[in-house]
Amino acid sequence: MTPTWTPDNMPDLKGKVVVAFSHWIADTHLPNSKGLGIHTVKHLAKHGAKVYCGARSKERFDKAQQQLLEEDTKFPQDRLIFLKLDLGNIEGVLEAVKEVKAKESSIHILINGAGMATSQSSKKSEWDEVMTVTCAEKTSDVRVVSIASNTPGIFLPKNYEFGLTTPACFHKVVPYYPWRWQYLLSQFFGMDMVHYSIAKVATMLFVEGLQQRVDERNLPILCLSLNPGGVATDGAEDILKPLFRPLLRVGRLTPNQGSYHSLWAATAKEPRQGFGKFKGNYLEPVGVVTTQHPVMDDEKQHQGLWDATTAEVNRYLDSRGLGSLLEWK
């Protein structure tokens, strides 16, 4: 697939503040990064945005910046700002939120490539306050972009019985394995694609739930989940057993091209102009609204996951003496 939209079509992002968090740099094998995240933040910075890059390691962040400078000596490295962020450490997440809030009054774009629950990590009013202030701006265009996948439609039967309605789903993600996986597909893959697909379903359901709640508060925030496409990254090749990995090298996007869909969702005019069409939805490249699995229309699983996530996060926060999440009002 050749992208029909490129970063050349991006608008001027001067004055925009972006927070990008994922394994975009922490798990990068330098000096030659093959991940999507580094290309995503590269294009955002080149078009004028100030980008807070959530990562665990300052050393790797510095090396990634150096890599970008070697690729382009005019790269505006001052627009990439290291934000110490280990998503496995809730205290560290809260500190990162406080740091951004102390430096910025607005956040315009949030790119989440690391899972579904992190947007709830700010249990106090930091997230709420900054987003509300941003939405009040005359030129407000706030977007939350989460990276998902088309794997649920491939590895999970349409009648798959999910178990997302209780906190137990976080300890036993896979309630059972479809026969097709057990006896056929598992022979080709070195990664548990059923587990991965259920996690991506949870991401898409979370995005829908987040959109519903910002809509109820009349906040013009656009929440999207998307598939970046078939990208030739190290991680993508690792999902297959070594014998079959050459199959993934045929007709794949480069990691740079793989960043285009996220950039389109975060910056292009079409998602904002078609707000009613795109909000809360999952997109295939580029900008094609798709129902990846019938569970996306299952209100019981939808509400159950949100309630289960809230209960589990509150349990964890209470165990660390951090109180509970604020209620959505």
Catalytic residue chosen out of the listed positions 52, 196, 260, 282: 196
316 as an active site residue: the answer is no
Which of 16, 34, 50, 200 is an active site residue?
200
Query: Is residue 31 exposed (0-12), middle (13-18) or buried (19+ Cβ within 10 Å)?
Result: exposed
Where does 122-192 have alpha helices with state H? 126-135, 152-155, 179-183
What is the spatial distance between Cα 131 and Cα 137, in angstroms, rounded to a whole number? 10
Q: What are phi and psi of 84, to 5 degrees?
A: -65, 120
Sequential DSSP letters for 231-259: B--HHHHHTB-GGGGGGGGSSPBPHHHHT
256: CB partners within 8 A, 6+ apart: 39
The answer to whether residue 196 is catalytic is: yes
How far apart CA 310 and CA 252 sit, in angstroms, is 38
Cα separation values, 218 from 107, 213, 222, 310, Å: 17, 9, 11, 22
* Phi/psi-derived region of residue 159, left when phi > 0, alpha when psi is between -120 and 50, beta in every other case: alpha
Nearest to 142 by CA among 86, 91, 211: 211
> Would you name the residues annotated as active-site residues?
196, 200
